[in-house]
Amino acid sequence: MADSIRALQVNKTDKGQSIDFVTLSDADLGEGDVTVAVEHSTVNYKDGLAITGKVPIIRKFPLVPGVDFAGTVTASTHKGLKPNDKVILNGWGVGEDHNGGYATKARVPGDWLVPLPGNMTTAEAMAVGTAGYTAMLCILALEQHEVTPEDGDILVTGAAGGVGSTAIAILSQLGFTVVASTGRTAEEPFLKSLGAARIIDRNEFATPVKPLAKARWAGAIDAVGSTTLANVLSQMMPEATVAACGLAQGMDLPTSVAPFILRGVKLIGINSVTCPPARRLEAWRRISRDLDLGKLRALTTHVKLADVPRIAGEIVAGRIRGRVVVDL
Ligand code: NDP
């Protein structure tokens, strides 16, 4: 049946929520002027939180989760997009209050879509996914604040995860010396193969936070938050920049103003969800230029839609290495 759409759907139940594999019709897809045949989606940390129900990410039921997807336009009344165009979707509330990527079709406003860079396949775009696009937004923030390879070492926390591993691959390609903070020291060969110069045990950032500590980092990308980010801030060099995008350890930030007023440290927040279109386009342009596709392959695993609930549990438990692509 041309109209039949395979999907993973989250429904509200008395006890919380259920994960169901369902068949939808075109009419179930929701609002939007562009329909996309989804070829690949991914499992991001936020998808893990949404599917496990650990945090109330989903704000409308029933909902197809999946905060990102890539595929081919099948129908469009949007002026910039036509059938057969290849497109990418990241964020904008997709997978939260608008049906997302865990379905063979999706419908969204065309303004949310980014054209697939010419040198990438939809599978490669989703190997990057929202985590990798966010890593690039972090790198753009460091560049905007004039962090250069000559300034010193760049720290990446949550290194073996999706944001961290992609950030390492891109930063090393750009000539930065990258130090990877991980709780999985057995992943040292993997992290070095992506371009990390050194590995550091993440427990070093779990200690009580001093207002200022020895200045070690010219820049940092933090996917972890909480005590880790607070310790990172106290270890930044004068005028250094931290791009903070994540909360894998926690939402809190037990810091003081010391790094900001005594060292001029800049803490830049990264929000990929409603990031303006021009910066998205720039991020994807730079990903297509600066990410070695061989390294991308090395950090990517492919799974089927049926595997998503299991992977969701694993990512929330911090057990996923690199990126997981869902083949629809
Ligand atoms: P992953 O689960 O792939 O990576 C997170 C990594 O953080 C883990 O692999 C682990 O790295 C580390 N980690 C996990 N738990 C802890 C802990 N308790 N203490 C210290 N470190 C921990 O997730 P993603 O890379 O996809 O996402 C990372 C973060 O970025 C998430 O919080 C996510 O929500 C956020 N994010 C934010 C976006 C935004 O727009 N701001 C967009 C995309 C992601 P290791 O094993 O190496 O120590």
Using CA atoms, how far apart are residues 11 and 251, in angstroms rounded to an integer?
27
Residue to probe by mutation, ligand 1, list 96, 224, 299, most atoms within 8 Å of CB: 224
pLDDT at 15 (0 to 100): 87
Q: Could you tell me the pTM of the whole model?
A: 0.97
Q: Evaluate if residue 53 carries a pLDDT over 70.
A: yes
Tens digit of each residue's pLDDT (9 = 90 or more) over 85-124: 999 999 999 999 999 999 999 999 999 999 999 999 999 9
Radius of gyration in angstroms for the set of CA atoms belonging to the chain, rounded to a whole number: 20
- The reply to whether ligand 1 has any atom less than 6 angstroms from the CB of 86 is no
Pair 132, 287: CB distance under 8 Å: yes
Using CA atoms, how far apart are residues 21 and 308, in angstroms rounded to an integer?
11
Q: Evaluate if residue 32 carries a pLDDT over 50.
A: yes
Using CA atoms, how far apart are residues 112 and 130, in angstroms rounded to an integer?
13
Using CA atoms, how far apart are residues 170 and 139, in angstroms rounded to an integer?
8
Question: Judging by DSSP bridges, how do beta strands 86-90 and 113-115 pair with one another?
Answer: antiparallel
Grade residue 197 by pLDDT with cuts at 50, 70 and 90. Answer: very high
Rounded to the nearest angstrom, the distance between the alpha carbon of 204 and the centre of ligand 1 is 17
Rounded to the nearest angstrom, the distance between the alpha carbon of 101 and the centre of ligand 1 is 20
Grade residue 2 by pLDDT with cuts at 50, 70 and 90. Answer: low
Q: Evaluate if residue 1 carries a pLDDT over 50.
A: no
Tens digit of each residue's pLDDT (9 = 90 or more) over 219-252: 999 999 999 999 999 999 999 999 999 999 999 9
